[in-house]
């Protein structure tokens, strides 16, 4: 029997006990990996080990898929009415709400995002997502299409079957909820791999999945590494569809594996280098606040972070001064600290990577206007909010996704020119426009090649509004009714009621 | 302060108390009617008085509408995100679920329907409907429409504001859920008039609305005066009510539509009567056809708008069908009685008035030469309004029993030869609510159901309503749809927005 991890929190913001099962969750029970090996889960604030969890391998993926396939054929899919699937999801949401603080604490400990943010936004939003899709479960319909009176022609939107899902470490619980909810609502069964860096909140929720009474095998969680479990899922011959969120680099591997195995249906949410364009007529104070939120929230570890900030020359100096002052106000520290805003980067590897980008910026001649250093201990994972100016478009810090609290601020003159610069990227996840002018707002917004465009705001996401990337930021959409399209297979039925073949 | 009605029951089906408030529920509170009138509520299984409830008049409707208007502007409508409206509806469903047996029992007392129907059908459908619409509240979408790049064109699907709803007595609580579910989910505020014959479960439900924490005024129910005329008229004529939804008789439906035309042209949707044909072909599964035919006309003592009351049987199986069908009907006579007794499947009709009406249809049928193959009379139970399951044969198309809605457990059976003949006879009616077809042949099943002029068609089943499949009629059975996604359209109005992006003239 796999172990249970218990932790007594003793912090200014939370001091209760949390308990997590640390096994793999397969066929409705927690089990040890077949390899009997473990993964150390590290606290990014301290570098110390929080606990071990069971490590899954390809053979565990096999048994998870078997359980998922079984459940799909007997106790899920179209074997149960949509309303029943919805009721399980509603129940799960209610149970999560009852343990909200505990789940938030586990997440904050594991991922490093400030507890206040996780408790105040991440967990409630995740619960809201599950409720949103619970409501869709009995509202999935196809079309009846008029052809001629000798035929009855209609479509069925059937669940695809067993879906594989691979999620990252930057917002673990939210990633978990946004993946499982639409898939389950539409009738699929799941084998999901949380990041090996941040498995704890998913494991905590598995206990609630058990308590909610989901039939065994409907949701299976296999914690493991990308090159073992991730790879096994991407190439599995009995997984019908894969949904991946993570780096563009890994996204290519997933797509390749899908194409080499059984051509499984694929959706990808990948990286971004999203432009935030601020015009002269913007409300500058608001633009500053949203821009900060856009790049420094969650330590800049957000795929749609507004990392390239384009400021029109008329307000450039004012914006830069205010943006700098505002960024300095962020308190950096332990996520459970009383007024912490920014926590650590997720790991020493990531921290070094971000520091590497900062160095490249300096090396390539950009100016460090603010920050650019580690904060606190020199081998810790905290990085100061960083602002680069005097960049050129070809610099690495302007082209490549850094995934840290590092912004580049670029002066521009002309609307057409900034649109062109903003679109000059392989990415296309999000973009923002700050202007008070109605025509400029829509013209520029519509011209930006991004899956999400914010006007006079940033980072606004909603369970009901689709999200996804253009170009190399991904394929497919999550959230809203659009997510459901990626979790159903359309079958067209042609019933001949009157045509005779000669 | 209005009183509480409470009674202790000790029956095989239900043991415990059953209670509800007897006032009007306005602006989040139970209140007496302004003019102080009351209505007697009768138990149809016994004919005896259950309790009195407050009788609303136009003065109470005015107060209710004013409160609703205020709520719409401040604490409901688009002031509140859809997800929040949905959560309140789900809370309401959860509270109902926790008290479902008591609600079922109260419905049995007031309507006379057997426990198996009340608990096993009405309550189940009510809960499904509420939960379903809770899930729609944050999914009401307009569209963006591509015109040209110098225009942003999109639609908003906005609530109407204050909507009036008038519901009948045959499925009292279920009808509440069909009406308020989509109306509240889409952000409307409601003034609802239950039937004066069966107000009790609606009143009890209002307590849950209070408990769930709906903003006062968002969902209002006001009880109605004896003839229905006063409060119902007040609602249909009210200048501040933007839309009215009515379920009931075609006769009253006309008055509602007329009142709208005379007042503020409020949007009207109507669910009216029916005389739905049930066509049984030679190649039907006879055993199944008999069972479904019985369900179609004897459920709820035939007090169902979709009742399959005209049964067309192809000549090849006619004799076998009549024999088996009448045996099924006869079998109900020994299962007739008090709703709470074990084994009761057949209950009374809802009131003395209805009883008299049904009996007069039966008498008229006999007078016109139809043969009461079975039934055609009062049940031997002397208390209450029990009519025996009745089958008339030897019917011709022009007979009243074939043309007019009886709303009781009375079937008119007609023999036919060909498919075309059956379709023609089936469509020969001003109604168009539902129809049913029994055949094992796939082409015929689709072809015939396509040809029938009705808002709902059942193939090899009958009157099995699903909460997520649209419900409504053709022709004089009404217009507009309830249930399913279609009800969301029924309770929203479309605003098209055209934003100029850069076009200078």
According to the 3-state scheme, what is the secondary structure of B167-202? CCCCCHHHHHHHHHHHHHHCCCEEEEECCCCCCHHH
Test B132 with A83 for CB contact under 8 angstroms: yes
Q: How confident is the model at residue B228 (pLDDT cuts 50, 70, 90)?
A: low
Test B135 with A138 for CB contact under 8 angstroms: yes
The pair of three-digit structure tokens given for residue A499, joined into one six-digit string: 């045509």
| Contact B134/A at CB under 8 A | yes
CB B475 within 8 A of CB B431: yes
The pair of three-digit structure tokens given for residue A23, joined into one six-digit string: 């096994």
Name every residue in A having a CB less than 8 A away from some CB of B. 82-83, 86-87, 90, 128, 131-132, 134-139, 141, 149, 152, 438-439, 442-443, 446, 463-464, 481, 495-498
**A173/A127 Cα distance (integer angstroms):** 10
CB B442 within 8 A of CB B454: no
Residue B364 exposed, middle or buried by CB count within 10 Å (0-12, 13-18, 19+)? middle
- What per-residue confidence (pLDDT) applies to B225? 40
CB nearest to B485's CB, from A86, A137, A139: A139
Test B468 with A495 for CB contact under 8 angstroms: no
CB nearest to A442's CB, from B135, B141, B499: B499
Single out the residue of A193, A175, A173, A186 nearest to residue A254, CA to CA: A193
Cα dihedral B386, B391, B392, B398 sign: positive
Residue B505 exposed, middle or buried by CB count within 10 Å (0-12, 13-18, 19+)? exposed
CB B210 within 8 A of CB B218: no
Test A498 with B138 for CB contact under 8 angstroms: no
In DSSP terms, which residues pair with A177 in a beta bridge? none
Task: Residue A154: list chain B partners with CB under 8 A.
Answer: none
B111-144 per-position pLDDT tens digit:
999 999 999 999 999 999 999 999 999 999 999 9
**B62/B69 Cα distance (integer angstroms):** 11
Test A497 with B443 for CB contact under 8 angstroms: yes
The torsion region of residue B466 among left (phi > 0), alpha (psi -120 to 50) and beta comes to: beta
Catalytic residues of A: 269
Give A78's DSSP letter: G
- Whether B210 has a pLDDT exceeding 60, the answer reads yes
Test B138 with A463 for CB contact under 8 angstroms: yes
Test B83 with A139 for CB contact under 8 angstroms: no
**B17/B14 Cα distance (integer angstroms):** 9
Q: Kindly identify which residue of chain A lies nearest to residue B132, measuring between CA atoms.
A: A135
**Residue B436 C-beta-side C-alpha neighbours within 13 Å:** 30
Test B135 with A134 for CB contact under 8 angstroms: yes
Tell me the nearest-neighbour CA distance from B501 into chain A, angstroms. 5
**A372/A383 Cα distance (integer angstroms):** 8
**B323/B325 Cα distance (integer angstroms):** 6
3-state helix, strand, coil in chain B (%, to 5): 40, 25, 35
Task: Residue A446: list chain B partners with CB under 8 A.
Answer: 149, 152, 501
Q: Where are the beta strands (DSSP E) in A9-161?
A: 17-21, 24-26, 29-31, 38-42, 49-54, 151-159
Task: Residue A128: list chain B partners with CB under 8 A.
Answer: 83
Task: Residue B137: list chain A partners with CB under 8 A.
Answer: 135
B60-89 per-position pLDDT tens digit:
999 999 999 999 999 999 999 999 999 999
| Contact B443/A at CB under 8 A | yes
**A22/A6 Cα distance (integer angstroms):** 10
The pair of three-digit structure tokens given for residue A476, joined into one six-digit string: 């497919």
Q: How confident is the model at residue B381 (pLDDT cuts 50, 70, 90)?
A: confident
Interface mutation vs chain B, best among A135, A150, A440, most B CBs within 10 Å: A135
Q: Is the pTM of this model over 0.90?
A: yes
pLDDT in tens, chain A (502 residues): 679 999 999 998 999 999 999 999 999 999 999 999 999 999 999 999 999 999 999 999 999 999 999 999 999 999 999 999 999 999 999 999 999 999 999 999 999 999 999 999 999 999 999 999 999 999 999 999 999 989 999 999 999 999 999 999 999 999 999 999 999 999 999 999 999 999 999 999 999 999 999 999 999 999 999 999 999 999 999 999 999 999 999 999 999 999 999 999 999 999 999 999 999 999 999 999 999 999 999 999 999 999 999 999 999 999 999 999 999 999 999 999 998 999 999 999 999 999 999 999 999 999 999 999 999 988 899 999 999 999 999 999 999 999 999 999 999 999 999 999 999 999 999 999 999 999 999 999 999 999 999 999 999 999 999 999 999 999 999 999 999 999 999 999 999 998 999 8
CB B176 within 8 A of CB B204: no
Tell me the nearest-neighbour CA distance from A225 into chain B, angstroms. 37
Q: How confident is the model at residue B227 (pLDDT cuts 50, 70, 90)?
A: very low
Q: How confident is the model at residue B224 (pLDDT cuts 50, 70, 90)?
A: very low
Of residues A442 and B1, the one with the higher pLDDT is A442
In this structure, the strands spanning B24-26 and B29-31 are antiparallel
Q: Is B413 helix (H, G, I), strand (E, B) or coil?
A: strand
Give A299's DSSP letter: G
Q: Is A447 helix (H, G, I), strand (E, B) or coil?
A: helix
Cα dihedral B485, B490, B493, B497 sign: positive
CA angle A375, A379, A382 (to 5 degrees): 30
**For residue B192, which phi and psi values (nearest 5 degrees)?**
-115, 130
Single out the residue of A364, A355, A366, A362 nearest to residue A402, CA to CA: A355
Task: Residue A86: list chain B partners with CB under 8 A.
Answer: 131, 135
Task: Residue A440: list chain B partners with CB under 8 A.
Answer: none
CB B224 within 8 A of CB B230: yes
**A133/A123 Cα distance (integer angstroms):** 16
Interface mutation vs chain A, best among B90, B124, B125, B135, most A CBs within 10 Å: B135
Q: Is B340 helix (H, G, I), strand (E, B) or coil?
A: coil
B41-57 per-position pLDDT tens digit:
999 999 999 999 999 99
**B99/A278 Cα distance (integer angstroms):** 56
CB nearest to A464's CB, from B90, B138, B450: B138
* DSSP-derived secondary structure for B326-345: HHHHHHHHTTBS-TTSTT--
Q: Is A502 helix (H, G, I), strand (E, B) or coil?
A: coil
Tell me the nearest-neighbour CA distance from B454 into chain A, angstroms. 17
Choosing from B102, B221, B271, B482, the catalytic residue is B271
**B100/B92 Cα distance (integer angstroms):** 12
CB nearest to A495's CB, from B87, B152, B446: B446
Test A152 with B446 for CB contact under 8 angstroms: yes
| Contact B502/A at CB under 8 A | yes
**B477/B277 Cα distance (integer angstroms):** 13
Cβ pairs A/B, distance under 8 A: 68
- First-to-last alpha carbon distance for chain A, in angstroms, is 67
B318-360 per-position pLDDT tens digit:
999 999 999 999 999 999 999 999 999 999 999 999 999 999 9
Test B442 with A495 for CB contact under 8 angstroms: yes
Please identify which residue in the block is written with the tokens 């081998």: A379
The torsion region of residue A348 among left (phi > 0), alpha (psi -120 to 50) and beta comes to: alpha
- What per-residue confidence (pLDDT) applies to B454? 98
- The residues, any chain, with a CB within 8 Å of residue A362's CB and separated by 6 or more, are A368, A372
CB nearest to A498's CB, from B131, B137, B447: B447
**A174/A132 Cα distance (integer angstroms):** 13
Test A497 with B132 for CB contact under 8 angstroms: no
Sequence-distant contacts of B145-150: CB under 8 A, at least 24 apart? B149/A446, B149/B501, B150/B500, B150/B501, B150/B502, B150/B503
The pair of three-digit structure tokens given for residue B443, joined into one six-digit string: 């082409």
**A69/A217 Cα distance (integer angstroms):** 8
B419-455 per-position pLDDT tens digit:
999 999 999 999 999 999 999 999 999 999 999 999 9
In DSSP terms, which residues pair with B271 in a beta bridge? B247, B478
CB A41 within 8 A of CB A32: no
Single out the residue of B47, B104, B113, B110 nearest to residue B302, CA to CA: B113
- What per-residue confidence (pLDDT) applies to A283? 98
- Whether B183 has a pLDDT exceeding 90, the answer reads yes
Sequence-distant contacts of A363-366: CB under 8 A, at least 24 apart? A364/A392, A364/A395, A364/A396, A364/A397, A365/A390, A365/A392, A365/A395, A366/A390, A366/A391, A366/A395, A366/A397, A366/A408
Task: Residue B131: list chain A partners with CB under 8 A.
Answer: 83, 86-87
- Whether B222 has a pLDDT exceeding 80, the answer reads no
If one counts every other C-beta atom within 10 angstroms of the C-beta of residue B497, the result is: 11
Residue A52 exposed, middle or buried by CB count within 10 Å (0-12, 13-18, 19+)? middle
The pair of three-digit structure tokens given for residue A239, joined into one six-digit string: 């997984």
CB A274 within 8 A of CB A308: yes
In this structure, the strands spanning B4-10 and B15-21 are antiparallel
Test A443 with B128 for CB contact under 8 angstroms: no
Give kind and range of the element (H or E) at residue A433: strand A430-434
Residues A354, A357, A363, A365, Cα dihedral to 10°:
-110
If one counts every other C-beta atom within 10 angstroms of the C-beta of residue A373, the result is: 12
CB nearest to A497's CB, from B86, B136, B442: B442
CB A222 within 8 A of CB A26: yes
Q: How confident is the model at residue B482 (pLDDT cuts 50, 70, 90)?
A: very high
Task: Residue A498: list chain B partners with CB under 8 A.
Answer: 443, 447
**B 52-111 near A (Cβ less than 8 A):** 82-83, 86-87, 90
Test A442 with B152 for CB contact under 8 angstroms: yes
Q: Kindly identify which residue of chain A lies nearest to residue B151, measuring between CA atoms.
A: A442
Q: Kindly identify which residue of chain A lies nearest to residue B153, measuring between CA atoms.
A: A442
């Amino acid at each position: 029997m796999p172990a249970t991890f218990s932790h007594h929190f003793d912090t200014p913001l939370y001091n209760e006990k949390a308990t997590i099962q640390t096994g793999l969750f397969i066929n409705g029970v927690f089990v040890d990996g077949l390899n009997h090996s473990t993964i150390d889960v590290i606290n990014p604030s301290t570098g110390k080990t929080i606990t071990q969890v069971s490590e899954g391998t390809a053979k565990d993926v096999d048994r998870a898929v078997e359980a998922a396939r079984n459940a799909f054929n007997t106790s899920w899919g179209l074997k149960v009415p949509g309303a029943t699937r919805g009721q399980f999801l509603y129940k799960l949401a209610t149970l999560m709400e009852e343990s909200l603080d505990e789940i938030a604490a586990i997440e904050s400990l594991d991922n490093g995002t400030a507890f206040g943010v996780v408790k105040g936004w991440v967990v409630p939003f995740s619960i809201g997502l599950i409720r949103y899709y619970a409501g869709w479960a009995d509202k999935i319909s196809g079309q009846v299409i008029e052809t001629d009176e000798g035929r009855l022609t209609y479509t069925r939107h059937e669940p695809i079957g067993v879906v594989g899902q691979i999620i990252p470490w930057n917002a673990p619980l939210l990633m978990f909820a946004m993946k499982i909810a639409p898939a389950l609502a539409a009738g699929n069964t799941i084998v999901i791999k949380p990041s090996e860096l941040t498995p704890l909140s998913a494991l905590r929720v598995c206990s609630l999945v058990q308590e909610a009474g989901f039939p065994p095998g409907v949701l299976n969680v296999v914690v493991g590494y990308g090159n073992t479990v991730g790879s096994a899922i991407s190439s599995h011959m009995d997984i019908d569809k894969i949904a991946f969120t993570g780096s563009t680099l890994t996204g290519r591997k997933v797509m390749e594996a899908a194409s080499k195995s059984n051509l499984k249906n694929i959706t990808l949410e990948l990286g971004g280098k999203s432009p935030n364009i601020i015009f002269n007529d913007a409300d500058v104070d608001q633009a500053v606040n949203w821009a900060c939120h856009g790049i420094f929230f969650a330590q800049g570890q957000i795929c749609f972070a507004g990392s390239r900030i384009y400021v029109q020359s008329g307000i450039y100096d004012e914006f830069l001064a205010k943006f700098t002052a505002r960024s300095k106000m962020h308190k950096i520290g332990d996520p459970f600290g009383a007024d912490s805003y920014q926590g650590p980067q997720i790991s020493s590897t990531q921290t070094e990577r971000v520091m590497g980008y900062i160095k490249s910026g300096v090396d390539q001649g950009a100016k460090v206007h603010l920050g650019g250093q580690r904060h606190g201990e020199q081998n810790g994972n905290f990085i100061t909010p960083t602002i680069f100016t005097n960049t050129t478009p070809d610099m690495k810090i302007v082209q490549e996704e850094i995934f840290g609290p590092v912004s580049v601020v670029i002066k521009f003159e002309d609307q057409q020119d900034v649109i062109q610069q903003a679109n000059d990227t392989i990415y296309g996840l999000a973009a923002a426009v700050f202007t008070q002018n109605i025509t400029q707002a829509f013209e520029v917004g519509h011209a930006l090649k991004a899956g999400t465009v914010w006007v006079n705001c940033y980072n606004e996401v909603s369970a009901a509004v689709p999200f996804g990337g253009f170009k190399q930021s991904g394929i497919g959409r999550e959230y809203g009714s659009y997510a459901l399209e990626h979790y159903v297979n359309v079958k067209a039925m042609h019933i001949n009621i009157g045509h005779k073949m000669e | 302060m209005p009183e509480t009605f409470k009674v202790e029951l000790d029956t095989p089906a239900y043991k415990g108390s059953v209670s509800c408030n007897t006032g009007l529920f306005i602006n989040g509170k139970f209140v007496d009617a302004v003019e102080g009138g009351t209505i007697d509520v009768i138990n149809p299984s016994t004919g005896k008085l259950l309790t009195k409830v407050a009788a609303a008049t136009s003065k109470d409707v005015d107060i209710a509408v004013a409160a609703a208007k205020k709520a719409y502007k401040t604490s409901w409508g688009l002031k509140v995100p859809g997800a929040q409206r949905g959560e309140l509806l789900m809370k309401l469903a959860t509270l109902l679920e926790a008290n479902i047996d008591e609600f079922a029992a109260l419905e049995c007392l007031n309507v006379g329907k057997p426990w198996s129907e009340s608990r096993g059908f009405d309550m189940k459908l009510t809960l499904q409907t509420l939960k379903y619409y809770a899930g729609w509240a944050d999914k009401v979408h307009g569209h963006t429409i591509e015109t040209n790049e110098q225009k942003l064109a999109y639609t908003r699907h906005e609530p109407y504001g204050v909507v009036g709803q008038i519901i009948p007595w045959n499925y009292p609580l279920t009808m509440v859920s069909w009406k308020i579910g989509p109306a509240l989910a889409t952000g409307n505020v409601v003034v609802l008039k239950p039937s004066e014959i069966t107000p009790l479960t609606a009143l009890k439900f209002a307590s849950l609305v209070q408990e769930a924490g709906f903003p006062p005024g968002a969902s209002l129910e006001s009880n109605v005066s004896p003839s229905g005329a006063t409060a119902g008229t007040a609602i249909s004529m009210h200048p501040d009510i933007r839309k009215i939804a009515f379920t009931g008789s075609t006769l009253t439906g006309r008055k509602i539509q007329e009142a709208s035309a005379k007042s503020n042209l409020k949007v009207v949707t109507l669910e009216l009567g029916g005389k739905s044909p049930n066509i049984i072909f030679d190649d039907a599964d006879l055993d199944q056809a008999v069972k479904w035919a019985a369900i179609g006309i004897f459920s709820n003592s035939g007090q169902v708008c979709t009742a399959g009351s005209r049964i067309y049987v192809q000549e090849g199986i006619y004799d076998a069908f009549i024999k088996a069908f009448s045996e099924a009907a006869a079998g109900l006579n020994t299962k007739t009685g008090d709703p709470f007794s074990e084994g009761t499947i057949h209950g009374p009709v809802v009131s003395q008035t209805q009883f008299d009406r049904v009996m007069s249809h039966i008498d008229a049928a006999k007078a016109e030469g139809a043969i009461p193959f079975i039934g055609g009379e009062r049940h031997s139970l002397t208390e209450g309004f029990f009519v025996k399951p009745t089958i008339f044969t030897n019917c011709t198309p022009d007979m009243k029993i074939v043309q007019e809605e009886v709303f009781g457990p009375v079937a008119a059976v007609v023999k036919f030869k060909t498919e075309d003949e059956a379709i023609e006879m089936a469509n020969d009616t001003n109604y168009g609510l539902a129809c049913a077809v029994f055949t094992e042949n796939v082409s015929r099943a689709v072809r015939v159901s396509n040809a029938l002029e009705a808002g709902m068609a059942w193939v090899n089943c009958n009157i099995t309503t699903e909460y997520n499949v649209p419900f409504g009629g053709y022709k004089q059975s009404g217009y507009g749809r309830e249930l399913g996604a279609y009800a969301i359209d029924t309770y929203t109005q479309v605003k098209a927005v055209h934003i100029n992006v850069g076009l200078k003239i």
